[in-house]
Chains A and B, each alone.
Chain A
Amino acid sequence: MLAGLLLAALAPPARADALDEVRARGALRYGSDMEGGGPYAFPDPDSPRSVAGFEVEIMDRLARELGAGVRAEFAQGQWDKLLWVLDSGRYDVVVNGYEWSPIRAEDYLATRPYYIYQLQLMGPKGTPARAWGDLKRPKPDGSPWTVAVLTASAADDFAHDENAGTTRVVRFDGATDAMMAVQNGQYDFTLQDGPAATYYGDEFPGLEAVGPPVSRGYYVVYARKSDPALRDALDAGIGRLAASGELRRILEKYGIWNDLQVGLATAFQGPIDAPPVRQADRGWKLVRHYGDRLRDAALVTLGLSFGAMPLAMAIGLAVALGRMYGPGPLRPALGAYVELIRGTPLMLQLYVLFFLLKLDPWVAGIAGLAINYSAYEAEIYRAGLQAVPRGQMEAALALGMSRSQALRRVIVPQAVRIVIPPVSNDFIALFKDTSVCSVVTLIELTKEYSILANSTRAVVEFATATAAIYLAMSLPLSWFARWSERRLGAEGAKGGLA
């Protein structure tokens, strides 16, 4: 988010059209995301260090159209941020299943399409629904159909706009994640761009295409507003590839040619022009307009944090006590737990809970955060328990307490006081780590920011508002941490000589 703010704040410097640069450099750099997968751009199975995909081949051909000796260079970026990085000048164009849209066309120059896509509904084999239209009636039990989509994709917009109150859109960070969740039975359908549905159909044998494709859109190449010559050259290049049949050959190779594609050569004589319609609101008005959505997302963030942290603290304490005072065989097992959880990314843990154990998103999110942080809390508690002088335990035992009583009445209460500052520090960290929960479809603050900033292009305004909300939520925690540190620092410092 900060990156977005910075990138947007640093307006690209005035300079000559990028076409000259590309020719001088001998390389056309294009931004794309391998995570989006096949058949667009993905790690080449025959040579895993390079990239394959129909867009990769199109760009290889297009680069040559720009001049002799010009090569295409793949530049990896995060899919929903590709245009922001284009602004920063790290590459010359964006090509990655980016559909033509009026909002994007306002801020960027688009070529004519290199592919005409439709959206394909996919459902579990034998699903009673036979077409998109069937989703306009609620489920037999009256609840809405759930439709998994790739966040901020055309399918996302379409499912959202077509929603007649009988569907609920669930957003994923990856196209295949959405397919997997439907195959798992976690959601009813997924709406996918045609190429992805075709390409991955075989890998998800539990899914089938439901009804004819719906909607229609155009994949285009986006260039910066300041580079009309580059755009025009690429546009003309696509025209030549379409006319010569080269484009068809590439699309057929990936199994995504269909009758619709005939229009690529016949229906377009140049770039698609931006329509005169402008968005009603820009800038801060948008933030006010979407204020409710930001507020709801902030509540999700709060819910995840306050749901997960108490659990993390409880599990962490139990693990620390088990490691220090538990029976022999338990100790190495708990040590292994801490190392395993601490040593693997939170995102993978969430994947396991959500896709393998098929937990509800909220359960997976809270459990994932709680488990992940429990490992860190366990280590903090261990340090806290060790910091309690040995004499305290001896005094408790000498008074006739059992070991567990001594822990409960004497040792743990003191350890808790010692660990409050580091634990509240972790709470603040967890607060921001909740953003990872977007992989299990929870739209918390960071994800909502990303969605809004992308769809409205009011990047700076939403980034500022989002940062302000985070700060407003975490500052009280910081104050609490500092206050407790002061108070307990004074109390703990010289309690007894031991």
Chain B
Amino acid sequence: MSSATEINEKLELARQLVIHLEAGDSAAADSTIERLSADRECTLFREIGRLTRDLHEAINGFLLDARIGELVEREIPDASERLNYVITMTEKAANTSLAAVETSLPLAQELGNRAGSLAGDWSRFQQRDLSVEEFRVLSSELAGFLQTARGHSAELHSKLSEVLMAQDFQDLTGQVIRQVIKLIRDVEDKLVRLIRISGSKVAPADHANTKPMGPVIPGLDQGEVVSGQDDVDDLLSSLGF
């Protein structure tokens, strides 16, 4: 805002300009116009100068931010490695669990089958429906079964313990993923600053062509998502399945 004296000065210059023009003195008129505009340009240059300095400092500050170098050179490649480690760990845990289950299922099956067959013979024995010879066979089968049951139970216990221990991946991978989330936040912060410096609005990206495949993450992925197998079945039956 111009102060009262500035306005008076300008008014005085304007009056002089009229006088010079009326007198036909074009040289004096030009010099008055220059004096009038000089003041204005001065303010404009000052403003441009200030903006330039701000921009320069902001860019310098951004470039000198040691975190960025660190982020690009070390932490992002490091994060990729860490995420690969998460894949390795989860895969290993899944394979350990699956192997234990694959060993355990036939053991449980065998116990069930033999117990079922023995239960039949045993109830015949209780109904006194067994010959001495049959009882001798049953007795030896029973002894064998008890031996097997003992062994299988120990084996099942050890396999279940393996499954239990394999779950430790959750803790470790959880920590790694948390570190990577923090890194992404850091990068996001730097990018936001960069956008602020450039001062321009970033046009929203076209999401249609970049839609990620894979599991839908609740609360993140948009679009019509079915809420479970029942929804899938309803949708398919509405399509004539």
Determine if chain A interacts with chain B: no
**A residues whose Cβ falls under 8 Å from a Cβ of B:** none
